[in-house]
Structure 1
C-alpha cells in the first residue's frame, strides 16, 4: 500500500466532486449511525453477535447500490476508521500483562504471519495457477488477523484475560508484517519490481520499528507533557484524539517531513505504540475526572466507528460476484484454515518447549485458532490492488477471494466461537466466585448508604433521631453482610487468597502513585524516587510470581479435570 498522505486523501474521503458532497456524506453517516443503533436494539432480544448482525444488514443494503451514494475505499478504512479503534483497544491493555506474553505474541505476529503468507500463497499457486507475486500478496493480506474484528468479538464474549491479551496482542502487531509483505508482493508484480530477501527484511525492520518509534515518541510527549501538566479533561481528551490520528499520519507520511518521499513507516504500529504509552503511563498522570471522560468518550467513539466498519464490510461485499468464483473462494478458505491451525498449534508447542511454566493451555490454542478472524484490514488491502499490477482479472479474483474469506470468518467462525468458548468453559465464572461478587457488592452498597447518612447528618440536613434510627438499621445490615461474606470465604478459602492478592496489588499500586505524586510535588528527590520505585518493583515482581504460580496451578487443574 502506498504512503497515505491525508492532506491529499482526506478531502477526497469527505467531499464528493460535486458541491453537494458534504451534505451527501453527512446524510449517509447519519443513516448508517441510525441503522447501527437499530441493530444494537434488535440484537439485545436475539442471540446474535452485534458485529455479525451489522455485516448481515450491510449485505442486505448492498442490493441497493445507490442507497448511500459513496463507495468504500482502502484509505477510508485504514486512515479514518481503523486508528481510533486500535487506539481505544490499546488503552485497555496493561503493559505488565502484555509483557508476560510478549514473546508468544511476537512469535505469532511475526513468524506466524510470515509462515501463513507463504503457506496460503503456495496453496493458491498450486490450485489456482496465478503468479507467485499475486499469491503472496493475497497470502499477506489474508494471513493477518484483523484487530477490529477480533477485539469486537472478544469484548462481547468476556473471555479469560490472558487469552484476550494473546489474541488481541497478536492481531494488533501482525499488521505491520502483513502490510510490508503485501507491498513487496505488489512491487514484485510490476515490471520494475523485485522480490529480494535481504531487501524485504530491511524494509520490514524499517517500517515496523520506525512505526513503533513514532508512536512511542508521540505517546511519550502526550503522556508526560499534556496529560501530566494540563488539568482540563476536554483539552486532554482532544489531545488523545489528535494522537490517535496524528501518529498514523506522521508514521505513514514520515518521508515527506524529511524530504524522502519513498520512506514511510507502519501507521498501525504507531497507533498501537501510542495507545500503549497513553494507557499505561498517560492515564496515571491524569485526574479521575479526565480518566472518566476519556473512558466514556473512547467507548462511544469505538462503538460508532466499529458499527460503521462492519456495516461497510457488508456493503462492500458483492454477493453476485461470489457464486461465479466459488472455487477460488473455497481454496482460499481451506488455505487459511489449514495455515492458521498449523501456525497456532506448532508455534504454541515450540514456545511451550522453551517456556514450560508459561505455556499456552490447549484450550486457549483452540480459541486462538478459531478466533483468527479477518475483516477491515484484509478488505482495505484487497481494495488497494490496482488492475495494472497483476491484471484486471487476477485483481478481481483476489478481491472476490478476500470477500469470501472475510464473510466466512465473520459469519461462520464469528457465530460459532461463542459456543466454542462456552464449551471450553473459558468465559464461565464459578458459582462461588459469582456469589462472592454478589455479597461484596451488597456490602459495598450498604456501606455507601451509611456514609451518605453520615454526610447528611454532618451537613445538618438530617435530624439526629432520624439518623439514629436509620443508622442503626444500616449497622445491623452491615454486620449481617460481613458475616455472610466471612462464612462464604470460610467455605471457599481459595477466594480469600484471591481477595488478599488483589488487595495487595491495589495497595502496591496506591504506593506507586503516592511516590510519583511526592516526586511531582518536589517532596523527594529523583534519587529517592528511583530507589523507592526499585524497591516497590521488587515487591510487585514477587507478588506477580505468586499470582502466576497460582494461575498455573488453576490451569493445570482445569486441564486435568477437562
Structure 2
C-alpha cells in the first residue's frame, strides 16, 4: 500500500463515520466520531488476528505521517481556527477571552506537566520534564468545533456564550504553538549539547516573534490580493488562501520560524480585516465555509488515524495507567486555569454564575492534540505521549461530552 492508499482509506472511513453519525447516531460530531473510531479499532484488531497478512494497522504504521501532519494538517487546522476569530464580535469580552486563552494555557501546561512528571516517576515510567511540558501544552488545546456546536444547543447569556466560543477558538492555536516551540527548544538543546537561558530565549524569540512578523506579511499580502478579487470568484479566493497557508509554511521553514505561528497570524489578519458587519468584505462567505469544511474533515480523519495508530502501540499497562491519571490531571488543570484568571478579573468584571464550571467541563479535546502527538517523530517519549493523548481525548470527549448537557442544565441553560 502506498501513502496515497492510506490517505484514501482514512478519507473513506471519515466519510462513512460522518454519514452514520449525522443520520443515525445524531450525536455531536466529536462524540460520534470517537465512538465509531473505537469500534473500528476493535474490528481492525480482530480482523488482523484472523488475517495477519491484511493487518491494516500494521500497513499504516509503516508510513511516517510527521511531514503530512506537521506541514499540512496542523497549518490548515490552525489557519481555519484563526480565520473564525472575530475580535469585533467579541466586543467587551475581548480582554477576558484573551486572558483566559493565553494565561489559561500557560497555567494548564505547567500544572499538567508537573503532575504527570512526578506521577510518572512514582510508577516507574521514564519521562523528562520537557516531554511532560510538551504533553501538557498539546493536551491543553480544546476543540472549538465541538464546544461551539454544543453551546449552540442551549440558551445562555450572550456574554457567557461569547466567552466560551471565543476562548475555544484562541485556546487551540496558543496551546499547539506552545507545544511545538517547546519541542524546538528541546531539539536546540540537543544540537548544542546543553540548554542555556540565552538559547531558550533565542528559540522563543525566533519562533514566536519571527512567526508573527511572517504571518503579518502574509496576512497583509493576502488581504490586499483578496480586495481586488470579486467575492463571486470563489475558486480564486480559495486558491489564494490555500497558497497563503502553503507558502507561509515553506517560508517559515526557510527562516526557521514557527510555521504554526505564521498560520495563526495570517488567519487572524484575514479573519478580522477581511470581514465587515455583514460577515464578509475582502474575504467572501464561501471562503469561511470552505475552511470550516477543511477543519471538520481533517479532524474526522485524525480520529480515524489515531484509532489505527493505537493498534500498534505497545499495550503497556503503565502507559495506560499514566494516561488515566492524565485524564484527571487535565480536568483539574483546566479548572485551575479558568478559576485563577476569572477570580482575578472578577474584581473589576462581572461573570455569570457557573462560568468556571461550564468552561472547565466543556473543554473537550479534539483533533489538534492528536495531530501534534503523531507528528513528534524522534521525540523521546512519543509513544507514551500518543498513548496518553489518546486516553485523554477519548475519555474527555465521551465522559464530559455526554454529561455536558446535565452540567449546562444544572446552571440554568435550557435546551433551545
Structure 2 residue aligned with 1:317, among 310, 325, 333? 310
Whether 1:142 aligns to 2:136 is yes
Distance 1:349 1:287, change over 3 A: closer
Correspondences of 1:123-138 after superposition (within 5 Å)? 123-129=115-121, 134-138=128-132
CA shift, 1:218, in A, is 0.8
CA contact (8 A) 1:55 1:310 kept: yes
| CA distance in structure 2 between the partners assigned to 1:124 and 1:302 by the alignment | 30
Distance in 2 between the 1:164 and 1:246 partners?
29
2:293 and 2:385 mapped to 1: Cα distance? Answer: 35
| 1:79 pairs with one of 56, 68, 71 | 71
Larger Rg: 1
Counterpart for residue 244 of structure 1 = 245
Helix, strand or coil at the partner of 1:321: coil
Q: Mark the CA change 1:192 to 1:236 in structure 2 (over 3 Å): closer, same or farther.
A: closer
Deviation at residue 25 of structure 1 after TM alignment: 4.1
Out of 332, 338, 343, the position equivalent to 1:349 is 343
The 3-state SS of whatever aligns with 1:264 is coil
Q: 1:251-284 CA distances to partner (integer Å, 9 max, x unpaired)?
A: 3x142xxxxxxx322x223222212222222245
Tell me which residue corresponds to 1:404: 391
1:177 correspondence with 2:174: no
* CA distance 1:46–1:58, change in 2 (3 Å): closer
CA distance in 1, matches of 2:185, 2:125: 14
Name which of 361, 364, 376 aligns with 2:367.
376
Q: Which deviations, in whole Å up to 9, do the C-alpha atoms of 1:19-48 show, x marking residues without a partner?
A: x554x2464255224313422334xx4453
Indicate if the aligned counterparts of 1:345 and 1:365 stay in contact, CA closer than 8 A: yes
Candidates 323, 329, 336, aligned match of 1:329: 323
Q: What is the TM-score when the length of structure 2 is the normalising length?
A: 0.79
Taking the aligned partners of 2:330 and 2:242, their CA distance within structure 1 comes to 35
Deviation at 1:320, TM superposition (A): 7.2
Deviation track 1:297-355 (CA, whole Å, cap 9, x = no partner) reads 334333322322222233333497265534322332232222222221012212333xx
Separation in structure 1 between the aligned mates of residue 80 and residue 318 of structure 2, nearest angstrom? 39
Alignment partner, residue 304 of structure 1: 297
Higher RCO (CA 8 Å, separation ≥ 6 residues): 2
Shift of 1:165: 0.8
d(CA) in 1 for partners of 2:81, 2:71: 16
Shift of 1:169: 1.9
Call closer, same or farther: CA 1:32–1:246 in 2, change over 3 Å.
farther
Q: Give TM-score scaled by structure 1 length.
A: 0.61
Cα separation, 2, equivalents of 1:193 and 1:411: 43
Instruction: Return the alpha-carbon distance in structure 1 between the equivalents of residues 90 and 197 of structure 2.
Output: 31
Q: Does the 8 Å CA contact 1:145/1:372 hold for their aligned counterparts?
A: no
| Displacement of 1:407 | 2.0
* CA distance, structure 2, for counterparts of residue 378 and residue 360 of structure 1: 29
Q: What is the rounded CA distance, in whole Å, between the counterparts of 2:211 and 2:298 in structure 1?
A: 23
Deviation at 1:289, TM superposition (A): 11
Provide structure 1 residue ranges, at least 5 long, that are not aligned to the other structure. 1-15, 256-262, 430-562
* CA contact 1:214–1:270 (8 Å) conserved in 2: yes
Deviation at 1:194, TM superposition (A): 3.2
Task: Say what the alpha-carbon RMSD is for the aligned residues.
Answer: 3.4
User: Which structure 1 residue ranges, 4+ long, deviate > 6 Å from structure 2?
Assistant: 130-133, 285-290
Over 3 Å counting, the alpha-carbon distance change for 1:240 and 1:398 in structure 2 is: closer
Q: Cα 1:426–1:287, aligned 2, differ >3 Å: closer, same or farther?
A: closer
For 2:405, the equivalent position in structure 1 comes to 418
Q: Distance in 2 between matches of 1:294 and 1:123?
A: 42
Q: How many residues align?
A: 390
The match for 2:34 is 55
